[in-house]
């Protein structure tokens, strides 16, 4: 070994390289790029990578997960809270530990969020085959379960020689830091290779400080976008999650005020503006409200900033009803910027908005357009005030999701960070949660992953120890994945979890019955094979994992319990039974597959309604 090399195992080299990576944070400070490692050790990663992590525990801490999917989901939420400037690693053994993380990789990929996944793999020598947990492919011995990550990662590699790290790791990190290609990266680490040593060049481990690049848009693309905007009478901005990651909130507000252009938000873009900003038009789409969807219906030029234009944003491409509407796609990713024949502006959101604003000069939309915004949002807010009030009631007399969100929203301050995910809560928090601070909200809806709630809450609490992380969770999501309540208690990352029990998968029951079907298998009471419908005591369940917990019955009791939760020293769970049939209304059309042939007239009518709704669908 020469003086300019160091002999390390592949696993030791991975850990040493990760420690050497730094990144520029939102406030300009330089911090470790990798905040730590979530790990569940098994025979595929404990002896080599686990040993390397133990030796480096003071520089790269390891957090013990309870489920591989959950710990990787926590990493997704961590990265979002850090606005993609700090990243977590999740490592598992070979086999089920690895495949458990595939879902979390899908969440990261859909939401354009960085995550580094390292899974153990079978032996490259193949001499011990078949090893424990190996899934054999008779016609392709090179294939392992880790190949399943190919569909849900931006970068995939299997290390078969130690020296491959010198090219693989830099490529993986550049991919997950690239604003256009951002997403999860996967490294497969065969058991024999993970323990094999090599003389690595010392230069490979030199400290490197990464800063997120800001690609400037092409001048011709900018000019075309400005030309379209100058001709607009009713321009509209759709703000997506890219606004957060570009740190473009100030530029967005300046553009909106300067040019009198209202802003509506996607689920990922929520809290790009505060709820009381004069140019804020509300949440758009299927889980949106009447104000934003009314503005979208009239808009003649739509500027989609940092959005991948999910069907829930576009109402399956029906919310933009103006026959002559033009869409401008501002995005670092060409794929997103050009969707549905949009006029692309491929570049960083903050820089693009700033340059477009300068080129627009004194252009302003007419005052009647901002008057329309004020009228529509006032009506939306009045509706939310009504359904979220303590005085509101459901047919059952039970509290509604809207009331639960409203109760916590009224108590929120500049320390509150709200988090939710799949099920009924996205529509409720997207409408009823009023962002009083920028970047104070996370609702995972790119992949709509049930179970993200408690795991994501753990990751967010880890990323933001100065915030009160409040998690809204349905009983269905809780039952799918809840073990990171225990993780948060173990590691001292406090969150407050509101668990609403509405008797099953209630929002899917709503979809089922709204599309003409009979209620079946979604609410527990609607499954005839259920012979013992036992109620879950969510408070006792949480207490068994070390959390403080209590069950409440009314909104007044919820508010009092929340005050106690704020004062508690660790994760607190508040459980209550809620109505299964009361939902915030005001969304848009959504295309789903309804049977063309059925014995039920209600299904046939729903099919006709779906077909009729497609008449407004934008094609191309």
Q: Give the span between the Cα atoms of 145 and 204, in whole angstroms.
A: 30
H/E element, 453: helix 452-463
Q: Using 50, 70 and 90 to split pLDDT, how confident is the model at 234?
A: very high
pLDDT reading at 620 higher than 90: no
Q: Give the span between the Cα atoms of 496 and 402, in whole angstroms.
A: 18
pLDDT tens for each residue of 567-607 = 999 999 999 999 999 999 999 999 999 999 999 999 999 99
pLDDT reading at 171 higher than 80: yes
Beta-carbon contacts of 357 under 8 Å, excluding residues fewer than 6 positions away, are: 251, 254, 255, 258, 259
Beta-carbon contacts of 171 under 8 Å, excluding residues fewer than 6 positions away, are: 155, 157
pLDDT reading at 484 higher than 70: yes
Q: Residues 360-368: what's their mean pLDDT?
A: 97
Radius of gyration of the chain (CA): 25
Write the DSSP assignment of 289-325 as a string of letters. Answer: -HHHHHHHHH-SEEEEES----HHHHTTTTS---TT-
Backbone angles phi, psi at 117, to 5 degrees: -110, 130
Give the mean pLDDT of the chain.
Answer: 97
Cα separation values, 406 from 558, 573, 609, 616, Å: 11, 18, 32, 33
Residue-range domains of the chain with CATH: 5-210 (3.40.50.970), 219-379 (3.40.50.1220), 389-577 (3.40.50.970)
Instruction: Give the percent of the chain with pLDDT over 90.
Output: 98
Q: What confidence score (pLDDT) does residue 1 get?
A: 59
Q: Residues 308-321: what's their mean pLDDT?
A: 97
pLDDT tens for each residue of 87-127 = 999 999 999 999 999 999 999 999 999 999 999 999 999 99
Q: Residues 462-471: what's their mean pLDDT?
A: 98
Dihedral sign for Cα atoms in the order 129, 133, 113, 570? negative
pLDDT reading at 526 higher than 90: yes
Q: What confidence score (pLDDT) does residue 619 get?
A: 83
Beta-carbon contacts of 490 under 8 Å, excluding residues fewer than 6 positions away, are: 64, 546
Q: Give the span between the Cα atoms of 277 and 378, in whole angstroms.
A: 12
Q: Residues 286-304: what's their mean pLDDT?
A: 98
Q: Using 50, 70 and 90 to split pLDDT, how confident is the model at 3?
A: confident
Write the DSSP assignment of 22-54 as a string of letters. Answer: EEE-TTS-EEESEEEEEE---TTTTTTHHHHHH
């Amino acid at each position: 070994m020469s003086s300019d090399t160091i002999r390390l195992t592949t696993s030791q080299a991975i850990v040493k390289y990760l420690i050497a990576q730094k990144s520029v944070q939102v406030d300009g400070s330089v911090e470790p790029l990798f905040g730590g490692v979530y790990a569940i050790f098994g025979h595929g990663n404990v002896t080599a990578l686990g040993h390397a992590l133990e030796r480096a525990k003071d520089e790269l801490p390891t957090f013990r997960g309870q489920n591989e999917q959950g710990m990787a989901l926590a990493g997704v939420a961590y990265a979002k809270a850090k606005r993609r400037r700090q990243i977590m690693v999740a490592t598992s053994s070979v086999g089920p530990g690895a495949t458990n993380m595939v879902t979390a990789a899908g969440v990261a990929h859909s939401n354009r969020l960085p995550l580094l996944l390292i899974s153990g793999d079978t032996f490259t020598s193949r001499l011990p085959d078949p090893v424990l947990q190996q899934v054999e492919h008779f016609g392709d011995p090179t294939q392992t379960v880790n190949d399943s990550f190919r569909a849900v990662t931006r970068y995939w590699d299997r290390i078969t020689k130690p020296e491959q790290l010198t090219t693989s790791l830099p490529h993986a990190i550049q991919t997950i830091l690239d604003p256009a290609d951002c997403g999860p990266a996967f490294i497969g680490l065969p058991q024999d290779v993970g323990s094999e040593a090599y003389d690595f060049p010392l230069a490979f481990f030199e400290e490197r400080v990464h800063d997120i690049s800001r690609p400037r848009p092409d001048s011709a693309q900018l000019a075309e976008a400005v030309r379209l905007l100058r001709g607009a009478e009713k321009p509209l901005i759709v703000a997506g999650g890219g606004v957060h990651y570009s740190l473009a909130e100030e530029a967005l507000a300046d553009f909106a005020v300067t040019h009198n252009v209202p802003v509506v938000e996607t689920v990922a873009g929520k809290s790009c503006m505060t709820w009381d900003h004069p140019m804020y038009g509300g949440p758009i789409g299927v889980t949106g409200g009447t104000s934003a969807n009314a503005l979208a219906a009239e808009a003649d030029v739509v500027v989609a900033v940092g959005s991948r234009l999910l069907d829930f944003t576009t109402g399956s491409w029906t919310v933009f009803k103006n026959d002559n509407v033009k869409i401008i796609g501002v995005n670092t990713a060409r794929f997103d910027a050009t969707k549905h024949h949009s006029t692309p502006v491929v570049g960083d959101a903050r820089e693009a908005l700033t340059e477009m604003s300068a080129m627009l000069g004194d252009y302003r939309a007419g005052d009647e357009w901002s008057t329309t915004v004020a009228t529509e949002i006032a009506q939306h807010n009045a509706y939310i005030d009504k359904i979220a009030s303590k005085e509101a009631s459901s047919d059952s007399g039970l509290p509604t999701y809207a009331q639960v969100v409203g109760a916590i929203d009224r108590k929120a301050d500049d320390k509150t960070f709200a988090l939710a995910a799949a099920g009924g809560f996205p529509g409720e928090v997207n409408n009823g949660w009023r962002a009083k601070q920028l970047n104070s909200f996370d609702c995972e809806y790119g992949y709509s992953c049930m179970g993200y709630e408690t795991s994501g809450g753990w990751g967010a609490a880890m990323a933001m120890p100065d915030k009160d992380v409040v998690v809204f969770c349905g009983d269905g999501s809780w039952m799918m994945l809840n073990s990171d309540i225990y993780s948060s208690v173990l590691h001292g990352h406090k969150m407050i979890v509101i668990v609403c029990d509405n008797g099953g998968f209630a929002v899917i029951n709503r979809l089922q019955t709204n599309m003409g079907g009979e209620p079946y298998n979604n609410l527990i009471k609607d499954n005839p094979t259920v012979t013992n419908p036992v109620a879950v005591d969510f408070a006792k369940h949480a207490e068994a994992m070390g959390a403080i917990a209590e069950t409440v019955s009314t909104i007044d009791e919820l508010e009092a319990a929340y005050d106690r939760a704020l004062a508690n020293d660790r994760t607190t769970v508040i459980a209550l039974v809620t109505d299964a049939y009361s939902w915030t209304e005001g969304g848009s059309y959504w295309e789903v597959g309804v049977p063309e042939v059925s014995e039920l007239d209600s299904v046939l009518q729903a099919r006709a309604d779906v077909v009729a709704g497609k008449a407004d669908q934008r094609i191309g």
